[in-house]
Amino acid sequence: MAAIDRRPGIRPRASLGRRLDVMARVGFPACTTVLLMLLTQAPLDIPEQAALLPAVALSCVWFWSLFRPGNLPPPVVFGIGLLLDLLGYLPLGVGIFTLLAVQAAALGMRRPLSRRGFFWMWGAFTAVAAGASLLIWLLSMLLMFHLLAPYPAIFVAALSIAVFPLLAVPFAAAHRSVADPDRA
């Protein structure tokens, strides 16, 4: 519900169009995350394209958890993590736990990072992406009972760090316009 709708006073009931607009704006972060994740699975003939899936998921969950945490609640992140597990052929629970941990880190750093610029947010994401890639690697080894090479985890961390600014620029524009329920 938009902030203007929560103010006390008498006003006419919101029209169906306004309510649909508010719902679309509230659902924008989750829908764009899922659509970008599905786009990474399209046959684009990009080398190492499979590593884009966790990179995009980590970047999206980090950004929207910082700027629109109410629009990306933990049950939605759980569903996105389940989709990450299913699309990325990970053991069930690895993507879910990792994305929920990324969201918790973003919510914990939200206030200090809100007073800083983009490079502080990107620096914090660098540490979180490295930790999330390490977590995916360790949990996958633990659940598969198989020793895995660390190089894919390092590549996913580096790719996540590189993809984040490419996604943050259009997301920041959307955050101020399309994804803002108060503008409905």
Give pLDDT tens digits for 130-168. 999 999 999 999 999 989 999 999 999 999 999 999 999
pLDDT at 123 exceeding the cut of 70: yes
Burial 160-175 (b: 16+ CB within 10 A, else e): bbebbeebbeebeebb
Average of per-residue pLDDT across 79-103: 95
* Predicted confidence band of residue 12 (pLDDT cuts 50, 70, 90): low
Which residue do the tokens 């970008």 mark? 36
Residues spanned by the domain of 54? 3-7+14-183
Structural domain count of the chain: 1
What confidence tier does 13 reach under pLDDT thresholds 50, 70, 90?
confident
Give the pLDDT of residue 178.
82
Distance between CA atoms of residues 168 and 65, nearest Å = 12
- Predicted pLDDT of residue 67: 92
Work out the average pLDDT over 4-24.
76
Mean pLDDT of 170-178: 88
Structure confidence at residue 48 (pLDDT): 85
pTM for this one?
A: 0.89
pLDDT at 21: 85
8 sits in the region (left: phi over 0; alpha: psi -120 to 50; else beta) called beta
Q: State the pLDDT at residue 170.
A: 94
